[in-house]
Amino acid sequence: MNVRLAIIASLVGCSSPNGSADGALVDANVTATTMFDHFVVVFPDNIIGTTPILTPELLAGASAPASATVWENDGLGVVDLQTSATSGGYEQSWFSLFPMHAAAFGQVGVDLAPMGFAEPTPLTYDNGYAQVTLALGAAPVAVEVWGVPLGDQPMCARVELADTTEYFVRYDDRDCDGTRDFQDCNPDVYCDPSTTCPCP
């Protein structure tokens, strides 16, 4: 699949990896964009585990993965191609911390079928900007974006591939249910806050 995304992350007041960042401009002028309705771009930092997280869809009956790679994620943004086409091909995706990598997947149709996935790729830093070009490969088997709002932290994402599953999760709420890990007796199991959760 010959589809590429060019990502430019603008850093606030600092050009070193120790600075903070406020957003990224994603160039949506990619080959064969008519295949997609939008892209979901995530900004993972480090791998923090291999334990699969039971997400809302998995708890509802979807098959849980046998293996997983769990990334601590700094941000998640959706690039709407129709909006991007009317704004010069760029759209802003916000993140709250300093990203070290970028990854992306495309979706299409009313059922948001996944169409391609770009593995986490290190960002290159230069004069206050971080840049990377992502090449989308084979489509994931399934994708899921979920999360209960928690301050300025991003939503979480699960990308099921043919041989493994990759998660992109919050740094202190990896099941993305709004309860911080140190308060959560089941930090790898999502708990719907509208129900009776086992932990305060």
Distance between CA atoms of 74 and 56, rounded to whole angstroms? 21
Neighbour-count burial for 139-170, b at 16+ CB within 10 Å, e otherwise:
bbeebbbbbbebeebbbbbbbbbeeebbbbbb
- Note the pLDDT of residue 21: 44
CA atoms within 13 A on the CB side of 17: 9
Residue 71: predicted pLDDT? 94
Please report the pLDDT score of residue 57 as a whole number: 93
pLDDT at 50: 93
Specify the pLDDT at position 38. Answer: 74
User: For residue 13, what pLDDT is reported?
Assistant: 37
pLDDT per residue, tens digit, the chain (200 aa), is: 445 666 655 544 333 333 444 455 555 445 444 566 777 888 888 899 999 999 999 999 988 888 899 999 887 777 666 555 444 444 444 454 567 888 888 877 666 777 788 899 888 877 766 777 787 888 888 899 999 887 777 889 999 998 889 999 998 899 999 988 888 888 999 998 888 776 65
